[in-house]
Amino acid sequence: MNLREFKLERFLAEYEFRAPYLLCTSDCESVSIGDLLAMEEGAADAFSAIRLGYGEPAGSPALREAIAGLYEGIGPDAIVAFNGASEGILAYMSAVLAPGDHIVVQCPAYQSLHETARANGCSVTPWRMTEQSGSWHLDLDTLEESIRKTTRAIVINSPHNPTGYQIPRRDFLAIAEIADDHGIAVFSDEVYRCLEHPGTGRLPAMADIAENGISLGVMSKAFGLAGLRTGWIATHDTAVLRRVGAFKDYSTICNSVPSEFLAALALRHADALVERNLGIVGENIRLLEGFFDRHRDLFAWSHPAAGSTAFPAIRFDEDVEQFCIRLVEEWGVLLLPGTVFDYDGRHFRMGYGRRDLARSLERLEEAIEAGFCP
Ligand SMILES: Cc1ncc(COP(=O)(O)O)c(C=O)c1O
């Protein structure tokens, strides 16, 4: 496969583990293994008794049962577990799509959502979001116009990374209908699902509403358990399940057995984990509102509706990538330039799922007060 460099992941690999003030990570605050095991009586003993042999290729029955609990009409047999959502994306784009196929992808996008398809010989039409008067939009007419005879899938992501946009419910249902009318799939990246902010409703899972709907989920974001590297694809389409499962035989064969145990445990307590993380997100959003209010001369933002990221823009005259690199090198504060999403030279991603946001934001304000922004 001729995969181009994953710009976002390369940028994070360079800075994330040495910058002391992280202001752009997309995952929520994690918990320790001990805290997780304490959620259920007997879990610690059961965990230490796990034997470290191979696991079931599609994921352990206990894990798939727990994942199924997140859906209305999806049972354990309609799920294949992966090592992260990342592996699920790679499996779908490599094993379900074929060279010559066409997909339409909501953009800006997490790069693997289009790059893995492109590397497999597919053509990609970006379905571009626009920003108007302080909010993000997606135009359904543009989507319809982008569909061709060779189109196999519409690829969407809501809640959206990086903007924090949530597709309106009516549009989400319309996307399912458009796909069904054309006999094509909707590959719906729902890794930030459950992180809807107050006043934003939760969307149904695409796997529950579209004939060819595929929902991508993961433990990393709303549940704050990225280190488990546990994700999944849920769909009623048995051919898709078979193909992505067969792909996994070549990538990782099975998931990490201890991770499967911990992920299933966490999902049995999903409400508690999500409530905790929504609390952190809510507090952080208030801090960000204050920050953008105080610095409206320097930054503009469209208020996010869901998820754990936002995509503000600088209002001063500097290339945003240079700005982010200067900021992390001189002040240790990490923001993610929009250029890693192939977006313009002004936007940058902020992440607000971590407990230490206040401390990092204070550091950014210190830099601003010292005259860091031109
Ligand atoms: C939209 C989106 N999809 C998929 C992923 C991959 O998730 P994971 O790293 O847990 O595999 C990410 C990670 O940032 C993401 O933002």
Q: How many CA atoms lie within 13 A of 342 on its CB side?
A: 15
Please give the pLDDT value at position 114: 98
Instruction: Report the separation in Å between the CA atom of 196 and the middle of ligand 1, taken as the mean of its atom positions.
Output: 17
| Cβ atoms of 214 and 188 closer than 8 Å | yes
Any residues with Cβ below 6 Å from ligand 1, and which? 26, 84-86, 110, 157, 161, 189, 191, 218, 220, 226, 231
Please give the pLDDT value at position 211: 86
Please give the pLDDT value at position 374: 83
Please give the pLDDT value at position 1: 81
Which residue ranges form the domains of the chain, and what is each CATH number? Answer: 7-32+271-367 (3.90.1150.10), 53-269 (3.40.640.10)
Q: Could you tell me which residues are beta bridge partners of residue 333? A: 21
| Cβ atoms of 64 and 82 closer than 8 Å | no
Handedness of CA 158, 163, 164, 170 (dihedral sign): negative
Residue nearest to atom 7 of ligand 1 (CA): 85
Using DSSP, state whether 323 is helix, strand or coil: helix
**Mutate which of 22, 191, 225 for ligand 1 pocket (most atoms within 8 A of beta carbon):** 191
Residue nearest to atom 14 of ligand 1 (CA): 26
**Mutate which of 12, 90, 161, 215 for ligand 1 pocket (most atoms within 8 A of beta carbon):** 161
Cβ contacts of 266 within 8 Å, gap of 6 or more? 36, 39, 219, 223, 225, 228, 273
Please give the pLDDT value at position 216: 98
Q: What is the pLDDT of residues 210-225, one digit of tens each?
A: 989 999 999 999 999 9
CA distances from 222 to 29, 134, 153, 166, 327 (A): 9, 25, 26, 15, 28
Please give the pLDDT value at position 365: 97
Instruction: Report the separation in Å between the CA atom of 118 and the middle of ligand 1, taken as the mean of its atom positions.
Output: 18
For the chain, which residues score pLDDT lower than 50?
Answer: none
Instruction: Report the separation in Å between the CA atom of 45 and the middle of ligand 1, taken as the mean of its atom positions.
Output: 31
Q: Which atom number of ligand 1 is nearest to the Cα of residue 220?
A: 10
